[in-house]
Amino acid sequence: MSDYRRTNLENVRIYGPSPYNIAVIHGGPGAAGEMAPVARELAAKWGVLEPLQTAASLEGQVEELRAVLEKEGDIPVTLIGFSWGAWLGFIVTAKYPTLVKKLILIGCGAFGDEYAAQTQQTRQSRLTETERNELKSLVIALNDPTVKDKDISFARLGALASKADTYAPLQSASDEPDEIIINSDIFKRIWQDADELRRSGKLLELGYHIKCPVVAIHGDYDPHPAEGVQKPLSVILSDFRIILLKNCGHKPWVERDAKDGFYEVLKGELL
C-alpha cells in the first residue's frame, strides 16, 4: 500500500496528517518524485504535499505550483525546494508572498551567472575521462532532434551528475525514491528560460519581493558553490540564513555522513 494518498489532482501526492502546510518541491526540472524520501520522513509529524511539476514552461510550473498550494495546502505553507525546486520556490514566493510563510532552499543553484561555470568545472573534475566523454555525448544527444528516447539519455546524464555531486552515498535502496518520473522535454524547455532568468539578473531581483524568512541548507561538497547563494541573497533578502552541512553533497538525504544531521536541521526549521 502506498504511503501517500492521491487527490483529484494528478500532480500532487499527500502524506501524513492535516494540516498540510509543508510542500516539498523536486528538482530537475523534469525529475518529479525525487523528494518522496523527504516527504515520508517529515510525514511522521507533519502533513506534507509533494507537488509533481508537469508543466513544460517556467511560467506554467509557477502557476501549477500556485494552484496546487491553493487547492490542497493550508495557507500559508513552508516551501522546501531542492535544486531547481529551490529556484521555483523562490519565484513562487516572490510572485505570491501570501502563500508562503517560510522558504527553505536545499542544494540551491547559484544566483550569479559567474558561478555557473564553476559548478560544471567541479563536476567534470570528479568524473573519469571516460565519464566526461560520455557526458558530452549525452548532452549532444539531448539537443539532437533526430535522437529518440531522450529520457534514457537524460536519466543517464542524471546518474553521472549524481556521482559527481555526492560525497559518500548511502547504499540502501530504501533511501531513494520508489519512482522518479523523468521528462527530458520538460528539462530542456524550462532550463533554457531559467538559465536566461539567472543570466539577466531577474531571478535575483525577484528576491526584493520576498518578505518571509529564507533558509538555505547547503552541502560543503555540493558543486553548486554555497558562496553563489550566500553572497547574493544576503544582500537582497531581509531575513536570510545559510546552514552548511559537512561532508555533504548536492542531495543531503542520500549522504551517509550527513543524512541524520540534515534531517535534524530541517525539522528544527519546521518547529
Kindly give the confidence (pLDDT) of every residue in the chain, 271 residues in length, as a single tens digit, with 9 standing for 90 and above. Answer: 356 665 556 799 999 999 999 999 999 888 889 999 999 999 999 999 999 999 999 999 999 999 999 999 999 999 999 999 999 999 999 999 999 999 999 999 999 888 888 998 999 999 999 999 998 888 888 888 888 788 888 888 888 989 999 999 986 544 455 578 888 889 889 988 999 999 999 999 999 999 999 999 999 999 999 999 999 999 999 999 999 999 999 999 999 999 999 999 999 999 9
Grid cell locating 189: 524547455
| Alpha-carbon span 90 to 212, nearest angstrom | 11
pLDDT at 127: 94
Q: What residues form DSSP beta bridges with 240?
A: 214
Give how far the C-alpha of residue 218 lies from the chain's centroid of Cα atoms, to the nearest Å. 12
DSSP 255: B
| Alpha-carbon span 28 to 181, nearest angstrom | 10
pLDDT at 143: 82
Closest Cα to residue 237, out of 113, 69, 103?
103
pLDDT at 95: 98
pLDDT at 5: 60
| Alpha-carbon span 67 to 75, nearest angstrom | 12
Evaluate the CA torsion angle 96, 18, 27, 192 in order and state its sign: negative
Q: Where do the structural domains in the chain lie, given as residue ranges? A: 5-270
**Rg (the chain; Cα; Å):** 17
CB 16 within 8 A of CB 46: yes
pLDDT at 9: 60
Strands 12-15 and 181-182, how do they pair? Answer: unpaired
Q: Is the entire prediction scored with pTM above 0.85?
A: yes
| Class for the domain spanning 5-270 | alpha beta
CB 65 within 8 A of CB 182: no
| Alpha-carbon span 60 to 100, nearest angstrom | 19
pLDDT at 3: 67
CB 22 within 8 A of CB 50: no
CB 210 within 8 A of CB 90: yes
- Write the single-letter amino acid at 225: P
Containing 31, the helix (H) or strand (E) segment is: strand 31-32
- Neighbour count for residue 235 (Cβ, 10 Å): 10
- Write the single-letter amino acid at 11: N
